[in-house]
Structure 1
Amino acid sequence: MIIVDDEDIIREGLRDYVDWTGKGIKICGEASNGKEALQKVREVKPDILLTDVVMPGMSGLELIQAIREELLQIEIVVLSAFENFQYIKSALKYDAVDYLVKPFNEIELEQVMEKVVAQVKRDKRIAEFVPKEIRMTEVSGTRDYRISQEVIKLIEQRYSEKLTIQDIADDICLSINHMSNVFKKETGETVADYLTKVRMFHAKRMLQDPFIKIYEIAVDTGYSDPNYFAKVFKKYTGLSPKEYRDQL
């Protein structure tokens, strides 16, 4: 994570008096203005940016906009005083994950950072499934892109449930046809194929543990019928779950 704030006391306090290691975060840089921060983001490529919005020179909003225009994959948390809440609303339009209103306490910081760390982990898992050329060429501000990302995140979060395409469409308040068409256009895959891909990825991961029963893996990847799970797995990998495990 990179910390950005033009007030030295706030920046140093965030850097030195928070147990970032305990939160699974490493501070890899800091900056006192947006221009300096943008350069560090380009060089270091952090997972998280914690930035003030009101700064001289390049503001936090200009920094966030520049990051999004350059399609840099980074989760952003904004800091702002309550009287500048309009800045926070603007930052959220640029897909900031969350915000903290100064002065904030450790509990508020803990809650926000837990959410952000979880989002970073989801992003890394999503990157394993979505081709890089697709991720890098999409403009993150477009509505269709946001819809496709919501579908991806929902599947990654709920693949272990008896999740249907209708469930996904209902969750993001779209018709199946509209959601399916947008997702296909944005990713080149159908929603059903993507759901299967995620489930098979996790099935293969769990098969590496010989102590997990195959029927348990079926249930944990959203299949109530182990025989149907085995059929889908073989169609996807060319091997039965047992054959796949035996070859490891």
Structure 2
Amino acid sequence: MLSMVIVDDEDIIREGLRDFVDWSVMGIRITGEAGNGREALQKIRELKPDILLTDVVMPGMNGLELIQVIREEAHPVEIVVLSAFENFQYIKSALKYDAVDYLVKPFNQIELEQVMDKVVLQVKRDKLIAEFIPEQTLAAGGRTREGRISQEIVKLIERRYMEKLSIQDIANEICLSINHMASVFKKETGDTVVDYLTKVRMMHAKRMLRDPSYKIYEIADGTGYADANYFAKVFKKYSGLSPKEYRDQWS
């Protein structure tokens, strides 16, 4: 279960979200709630939730101020913003602080589930990323330009590892030269971009190999390799086993 804190200064909205939504079916458990930004910040610091669902228009510390402090303190929490339509400018500002998505009040159950499914997927991706790059590296680095660039590269690779993604594609996406990008990423993470891309692909390949319904060529294609034989060579070099030998361990 992923943990979540709900923040809204309107008791009826906060209580409705808490009591009338079956969060467990989404894999979420509410671990805290708050009626304003200052109270919410304390909850974030103490409870370290995976997800924050917050209103933006609140007395005292508003939602945007809360999100800004959360990002400055580098809390690894995914944020969903609640706002009335007439306050859409607040939503645009929140997205600049890497809020994952937003919900415009009033919203229905389907809209809520669609947004939360997206957020749950992002949290799971972040946890997979953390297996390769220590969280403190990303958290500390996120406060510098080089750290933010590295985070963007990591997120881009996790989002598009299944494509025929080249190093030039990544450099183009973040608007840097290949050499500059490679230098920054190596300095911040200790990995080359190529090595990190391979790590992510191999991690997902292992996950798919444990499912016998996938053919080897489907796994190759699903991890960005057009040639199944080349995929097998890369996999053996990375893991010490051929894809078939790795699969046989799980049968």
Q: Distance in 1 between matches of 2:223 and 2:62?
A: 45
Q: Distance in 1 between matches of 2:95 and 2:214?
A: 42
The letter of the residue matching 1:39 is Q
The letter of the residue matching 2:162 is S
| Counterpart pick for 2:123 among 120, 124, 129 | 120
1:178 maps to what in 2?
180
Query: What does residue range 10-159 of structure 1 map to in structure 2 within 5 Å?
Result: 10-140=13-143, 142-159=144-161
Moved more, 47-56 or 217-226: 217-226
Closer, same or farther: CA 208–22 of 1 in aligned 2, 3 Å: closer
Q: Which digits, 9 at most, give the CA deviation of each residue in 1:157-193, with x for residues without a partner?
A: 2222222112223344443333333322332221111
SS at match of 1:160: coil
Q: Distance in 1 between matches of 2:67 and 2:195?
A: 34
The letter of the residue matching 1:72 is H
Closer, same or farther: CA 101–143 of 1 in aligned 2, 3 Å: farther
The letter of the residue matching 1:76 is I
Moved more, 155-164 or 176-185: 176-185
Q: Which digits, 9 at most, give the CA deviation of each residue in 1:175-221, with x for residues without a partner?
A: 33333333223322211111111111122233334564444433332
Tell me the C-alpha RMSD between the 2 structures: 2.5
Q: Which digits, 9 at most, give the CA deviation of each residue in 1:125-177, with x for residues without a partner?
A: 1111212331232235x443333223222222222222211222334444333
Q: Distance in 2 between matches of 1:77 and 1:216?
A: 34
| Counterpart pick for 2:193 among 171, 191, 203 | 191
Q: Distance in 1 between matches of 2:246 and 2:108?
A: 50
Q: Distance in 1 between matches of 2:103 and 2:163?
A: 33
1:166 maps to what in 2?
168
Moved more, 171-180 or 221-230: 171-180
Give yes or no for contact 2:138–2:151 (8 Å, CA) kept in 1. no
Q: Distance in 2 between matches of 1:143 and 1:83?
A: 33
Percent of matched pairs sharing the same residue: 78
Give yes or no for contact 2:138–2:147 (8 Å, CA) kept in 1. no
TM-score scaled by structure 2? Answer: 0.85
The CA deviation at 1:16 is 2.2
The CA deviation at 1:3 is 0.7
Q: Distance in 2 between matches of 1:208 and 1:241?
A: 10
Q: Distance in 2 between matches of 1:66 and 1:23?
A: 28
1:218 maps to what in 2?
220
Gap regions ≥5 residues in structure 2: none
Q: Which digits, 9 at most, give the CA deviation of each residue in 1:29-79, with x for residues without a partner?
A: 211112221222222221111111222233222322222222211011122
Give yes or no for contact 2:141–2:148 (8 Å, CA) kept in 1. no
The CA deviation at 1:97 is 1.6
Closer, same or farther: CA 231–76 of 1 in aligned 2, 3 Å: same
Give yes or no for contact 2:142–2:151 (8 Å, CA) kept in 1. no
The CA deviation at 1:22 is 3.0
Moved more, 10-19 or 175-184: 175-184
The CA deviation at 1:5 is 0.8
Q: Distance in 1 between matches of 2:216 and 2:145?
A: 40
TM-score scaled by structure 1? Answer: 0.86
Gap regions ≥5 residues in structure 1: none
